Amino acid sequence: MRWSTVTTRLLVLASWLGRSLGAAVQPNLCVFCGVRCRLQGPPICTPCHTDLPWIDRACPRCAKPVVADLSAGVCCAVCQQDPPPFTTTVAALSYSFPVDAAIKAMKFRRKLFYVPAFVHTLLISAEKLPAGIDALLPVPLHWRRQARRGFNQAAELCGPISKQTGIKPINNVVRRRPTPYQSGLAATLRRGNLRFAFSVQGQVRARHVLIVDDVITTGETCRELAQVLLDAGAEKVSVLAIARA
């Protein structure tokens, strides 16, 4: 073996050792309180996990928190009057402290260290989803907003979920026009704001698509996106989000 080959191999080995040792000694800290967590586990300590604003009872269709227990198959009044195009929505957490602050930090201040913690809560919620999901769709951002932000938070969450579940994301859906933030609009303007906001390039070949998003505020984004997916060939759409406003 030539010396150059030996040196290259030694350098590769040293860099691998360095990275492995770095990963091993870097503590896994709770994203909410900074306490040291189990190395292989999610970065949320048990007390913070317990204290998260978990939603007790919710509409199975839109994940809106409800006061009374709904019997199986019954939706909230809004879904009964105006059924959304998706069949199930799961969002385990309420959009209140500390989840709201963490999501805003992740989205607007690039605090992507929250991603593994939220992927953990999303995977817990995902157990409530119906079987047969064969594609994931992170809610697309308009290219200009994505360029400004540098990433799409829904795609950041979707990547590890895809890796864990083996379900592939679809990538032929685009947001074709920038839309103002839903939260800043009156209820009557929200639906109009999103009309024709998304389009599918070609066909959707999956049967049951799971839309993945960070927070559901009004549900209008998911309504619009689900309808576009159904029109493009999907048979069923479900929604998974970290939190419900």
Contact footprint for Zn ion (CB under 5 A)? 30, 32-33, 35, 45, 48, 59, 61-62, 64, 75-76, 79
| Residue among 88 and 193 whose Cβ is closer to Zn ion | 88
| Residue among 30 and 137 whose Cβ is closer to Zn ion | 30
CB of 32 to Zn ion, least distance (A): 5
Name the CA radius of gyration of the chain, rounded: 21
SS3 state of residue 130: coil
What is the rounded distance in angstroms from the CA atom of residue 191 to the CA atom of residue 196?
Answer: 10
Non-local (6+) Cβ contacts of 231 within 8 A are 200
CB of 34 to Zn ion, least distance (A): 7
CB of 194 to Zn ion, least distance (A): 18
| Residue among 79 and 154 whose Cβ is closer to Zn ion | 79
What is the rounded distance in angstroms from the CA atom of residue 122 to the CA atom of residue 237?
Answer: 17
SS3 state of residue 243: strand
Hey, what amino acid is at 207? Answer: R
Report CA dihedral (121, 244, 240, 189) to the nearest 10 degrees: -150
| Residue among 79 and 239 whose Cβ is closer to Zn ion | 79
| Residue among 88 and 152 whose Cβ is closer to Zn ion | 88
CB of 18 to Zn ion, least distance (A): 29
CB of 150 to Zn ion, least distance (A): 27
Q: What are phi and psi of 16, to 5 degrees?
A: -65, -45
